[in-house]
Structure 1
Amino acid sequence: MSHQLSHLLLTPAEMAAVDAAAAASGIDSFGLMERAGAAAAAAALCLHAGALRFVVLCGPGNNGGDAYVAARHLQEGGAPVVLFHLADPSRLMGDAARAKAGCALRGEPLHLYSPEIGDVVIDGLFGAGLGRDVPADVRAVIDRVAEAGLPVLAIDLPSGLDGRTGRVLGAAFRASNTITFMTRKPGHLLMPGRELCGELEVFDIGIPARIIRAEASGVIAENRPDAWKGVLPAEQLETHKYKRGHLVVFSGEADKTGAARMSAISGLKAGAGLVTIAAPDAAIAANAAHLTAVMLHAIDDAADLEDWLTDKRLQTFVLGPGFGIGARARAFVSSLAERRLVLDADGISSFKDDPQQLFDLFGGEPRLVLTPHEGEFSRLFPDIGSDDALGKVDKALAAARRANAAIVYKGADTVIAAPDGRALINTNAPAWLATAGSGDVLAGIIGGLLAQGLPAFEAAAAGVWLHGEAAHRAGKGLTAEELAAHVLPL
């Protein structure tokens, strides 16, 4: 993959516009198809040198054209190849028709394919352009291939996956490998698409980067340091703890203090100059027994908080981990409406009966970060969460606009969205990050970055990335305490 394009994610519509613009610029579109098909054939031979038979499945569009080229190259290379086509190949048009004409193999209708031991399936049925559920005959073949346990090499995207959302449209191949061209698509990174793609390779078929950049909206990208490193605070020799930010984390009652401590330690490790846990008076002793570098301040009710907030150095807060659900949480959030706030867990659930009450508090420049998992998202945005027409990125963006907040829509494919329409898909989180307390650590990291002056969206995105990196350092079997200990500043 071209380094210049490595961060871009193009939707299927944007990639179609790239293809059209490339053709309009005088680039031979069939030459691009030839290179794509040749790359697929080369990948098949490299990955499956011992295949007894390559089974090439050709669809009715340009993805099928790529497959016909691949089949031709495999046959010319002496590999055993059979071909099955969807719909009437005589109705192919343009480059796909030319690719079919250049392939000497006589194909059979798709429904006649019966898997055999030693088969390797090359999937060129639909690619990323599918916008409806797969037909019944395709579903039947997908089921037969899965039952036989055959390896699948997908061209562009496993057929049955939505290239924009990563959703399964009725049924989809589970590929062991996927080869795509020039850039990735959101469906390569979003679940379950990421799992169904297997190992992904991006092959440069020769479309100039300037054409791709001209058609790329840049709205959706992978969450990488390039997306936010430009706003990181410069390191200064002459500084002090308040210049690096003061983060406050609210603690729950005496028997629910651990979550706040993990958030606080994580915020300190992420670079905040100092961190204070604000706890009920009855929980001070429980917290003090486990803390050294983190300070403590007694806060029992909203009146105590209002008095404390006369100190204008207090600008950044985390509320939610272990805090408890209810009116007290809502009152604290109301007091913090003019400050920067990471609202997590119990803090989010406290507004489930009237989410708009929360949203109305945080107008103007975004300063609120919400970190919902699937259930919390549905409680705060029930209509958006239940809209099956929307993918995860679309849902996160709609929520960000409504709440005027940076949204961290958590999961294996965490999406970070901004009210201005930017969205990032995170990919560096290992599976073992799914453990109790992991979200408390994430909230603290984001709070620590907010305290250092990062804007809400960039703090959220960088925090999610740091969270994943810490998990890799901690290794399999980590606990949340170990995860927090492995957080490093940017």
Structure 2
Amino acid sequence: MPTPPDPPIELLTPSEMGRADALTIAGGVPGYALMLKAGQNVADAALDLLRETGGDKIAIFCGPGNNGGDGYVAARFLREAGLQVAVGALGDPRFLRGDAKQAFQDWPGETRAVEEIDLGVADLVIDALFGAGFSRPLEGRALQTVERINAAGNPVLAVDVPSGVDGATGAMGSACVRAKKTVTFFRQKPGHALLPGRAACGDVLLTQIGIESAVLTDIAPKTFLNLPSLWREHLPRLQIEGHKYARGHLLVASGPMTRTGAARLAARAGLRAGAGLVTLVSPTEALAVNAAHLTAIMLRAADSADDWRDLLADRRFSVCVFGPAFGTGRKTVEIAEVLLAAAEEDRPLALVLDADALTAFAPDWEVLAQRIKASAARVVLTPHEGEFSRLFSKKAETAPPVSPSERAPSHESLAQPADFTSKLDRARAAAEAVGAVIVLKGADTVVASPDGRASIAANAPPTLATAGSGDVLAGLIGGLLAQNMPSFEAAACAVWLHGEAGNLFGPGLIAEDLPDLLPKVLAGLARS
């Protein structure tokens, strides 16, 4: 059976979604027509939920804006379908404006204050209080209403995003609605994919309301769900006339004798990802330990920066994964600098700097940035949140940061990347600052490119939170880079493969399991 196509991958910020609405309305579609379709979609989703849970009593909480307007439309359609609908308004609905005012006027039933809605008899709650553009903490009556909804324990259907979740960042302030399902429109928002917002959304149902995809040409979004359609066309293709040397030679740096496992995990993952050859570069003291565990992976010795410089004189080496369990002393910085200096315009070289290679530079990320920008190497950095904070937390005497998209892209205007509250903004700021692709790891891993593109992962199971998992990811990126996959696409693809491998195994996963799951994941990808 063929695999269904990926859903739309573009993620629109609230301002970009507003632009999509405006372009559609300017093209001749009335705004109220969009609201009617949105409300119909909410009503349809509510009916589907009630088929699962049973009952016919719905409580709808409507806010003071267009999200509330969607709620009034949904209330009318549900009442026409024969359900018992109670509508509670936050604020006086007589002061609504525009399309939301029209939606309220078209609602034929009674509207009460939110405090008067009896949640004890409701089979389903619809949260239409605030939409994706709401970015401040809830307070007063709004906060009390959300707390009451959550305490009641009814299944909740959220409109656009759960109230209290920032659609641009996934952040929540004082509280947010906890939904069983969220209905959104045209395209998902970053807040649907980023934590903690993603956890509050429940299942996300993307519906269409009459906005044509052509508006995306004008909007030019740069944030995407990390799905195969983002990077599939760049996947390495095996050719009948191909050979191993055409698929790149990956180096992986090993730590000392008591910390060799991380490098072997990365090396095996790189080989499984398709690198033609993989060589583990080991300290002399650890050669015997590594040799006892290796078969298809080759082994070379290097103890100093000079040894690495001599090794890299062989121009057939095309990629290096450096950092997993390597150690954080001065030698680590020196070898990283040798690797970066080895890349020249006529000698392609790609680097994956992970773990100790990042911590060794902390907190002087500017030094690392200078080395990267002076190098011809393609570089990917793969920090988890702790490593990111250590590397990028050095404080600068600058004004408080704003979103990277809202400031001039000059080095002088850059705030410290760790100062941004949004994970998406942190990754983008770091990518721009150092001139490298950033893989900011977690359950919602963000891959950010210096050109502003970013992807957000939504397929990582919690079982991936295990020792060595990140080493495998670094190796996967290295294996794809070895085959000349572009850096952003290679990093995003590796993150997706990593997540799918974890899903395929299920409970009990350890890092050693991941590389050997890759053939099944890659086969499934090929079939799709």
Bucket of the pairwise TM-score, normalised by the shorter protein: over 0.9
Q: Choose which of 461, 477, 494 in structure 2 pairs with 1:463.
A: 494
- CA shift digits 1:46-101 (9 cap, x unpaired): 21242352111111111111100111112222211111111111111111111101
Aligned 1:406-425 pairs, distance under 5 A? 406-425=437-456
The answer to whether the Cα contact below 8 Å between 1:260 and 1:277 also exists between their aligned partners in 2 is yes
Aligned length: 487
Tell me, yes or no, if structure 1 residue 433 matches structure 2 residue 436.
no
Give the equivalent residue in structure 2 for 1:299.
302
**1:202 alignment partner, SS class:** strand
Q: Choose which of 15, 19, 31 in structure 1 pairs with 2:33.
A: 31
Aligned 1:229-248 pairs, distance under 5 A? 229-248=232-251
Output the CA distance in 2 between the equivalents of 1:6 and 1:348: 34
TM-score (norm 1): 0.96
Give the equivalent residue in structure 1 for 2:427.
396
Give the equivalent residue in structure 2 for 1:76.
80
**1:158 alignment partner, SS class:** coil
Output the CA distance in 2 between the equivalents of 1:347 and 1:139: 45
Q: Choose which of 513, 516, 524 in structure 2 pairs with 1:482.
A: 513
Aligned 1:53-452 pairs, distance under 5 A? 53-211=57-215, 213-337=216-340, 338=343, 339-363=349-373, 367-382=378-393, 384=416, 386-388=418-420, 390-452=421-483
The answer to whether the Cα contact below 8 Å between 1:71 and 1:83 also exists between their aligned partners in 2 is yes
Cα 1:271–1:77 shift into 2, 3 Å = same
- CA shift digits 1:224-272 (9 cap, x unpaired): 2222223333422223222111001011111111111000000000000
Give the equivalent residue in structure 1 for 2:15.
13
Give the equivalent residue in structure 2 for 1:22.
24
**2:83 alignment partner, SS class:** coil
The answer to whether the Cα contact below 8 Å between 2:6 and 2:227 also exists between their aligned partners in 1 is no
**2:371 alignment partner, SS class:** coil
The answer to whether the Cα contact below 8 Å between 1:56 and 1:81 also exists between their aligned partners in 2 is yes
Shift of residue 325 of structure 1? 1.2
Give the equivalent residue in structure 1 for 2:406.
none
Letter in 1 for 2:493: A
**Which deviates the most, 474-483 or 364-373?**
364-373
**Which deviates the most, 282-291 or 425-434?**
425-434
Output the CA distance in 2 between the equivalents of 1:254 and 1:5: 47
Letter in 2 for 1:417: A
Consecutive unaligned residues in structure 2, runs of 5 or more: 344-348, 396-415
Shift of residue 153 of structure 1? 0.3
**2:518 alignment partner, SS class:** coil
Shift of residue 453 of structure 1? 1.1
**1:275 alignment partner, SS class:** strand
Shift of residue 222 of structure 1? 1.0
Output the CA distance in 1 between the equivalents of 2:451 and 2:440: 16
- CA shift digits 1:173-196 (9 cap, x unpaired): 010011111111111111111111
Moved over 6 A (4+): 2-5
Give the RMSD, CA atoms, in angstroms: 1.8
Shift of residue 29 of structure 1? 1.8
Output the CA distance in 2 between the equivalents of 1:77 and 1:216: 37
The answer to whether the Cα contact below 8 Å between 2:19 and 2:219 also exists between their aligned partners in 1 is no
Cα 1:366–1:303 shift into 2, 3 Å = closer
Output the CA distance in 2 between the equivalents of 1:282 and 1:374: 32
The answer to whether the Cα contact below 8 Å between 1:366 and 1:406 also exists between their aligned partners in 2 is no
Letter in 2 for 1:344: D
Cα 1:238–1:216 shift into 2, 3 Å = same
Shift of residue 277 of structure 1? 0.6
- CA shift digits 1:387-444 (9 cap, x unpaired): 35x4111111100011110000001100000001111111122221111110000000
Shift of residue 458 of structure 1? 1.7
What is the identity percentage for the equivalent residue pairs of Structure 1 and Structure 2?
A: 49
Cα 1:4–1:438 shift into 2, 3 Å = closer
**Which deviates the most, 103-112 or 24-33?**
103-112
Output the CA distance in 1 between the equivalents of 2:19 and 2:363: 44
Output the CA distance in 1 between the equivalents of 2:249 and 2:355: 22
The answer to whether the Cα contact below 8 Å between 1:409 and 1:416 also exists between their aligned partners in 2 is yes
The answer to whether the Cα contact below 8 Å between 1:4 and 1:209 also exists between their aligned partners in 2 is no
Letter in 2 for 1:368: V
Letter in 1 for 2:388: F
Shift of residue 366 of structure 1? 6.0
Give the equivalent residue in structure 2 for 1:47.
49
Shift of residue 386 of structure 1? 4.5
Cα 1:366–1:163 shift into 2, 3 Å = farther
Give the equivalent residue in structure 1 for 2:404.
none
The answer to whether the Cα contact below 8 Å between 2:38 and 2:185 also exists between their aligned partners in 1 is yes
- CA shift digits 1:144-185 (9 cap, x unpaired): 222221211001111111111011132110100111111111
Letter in 1 for 2:357: G
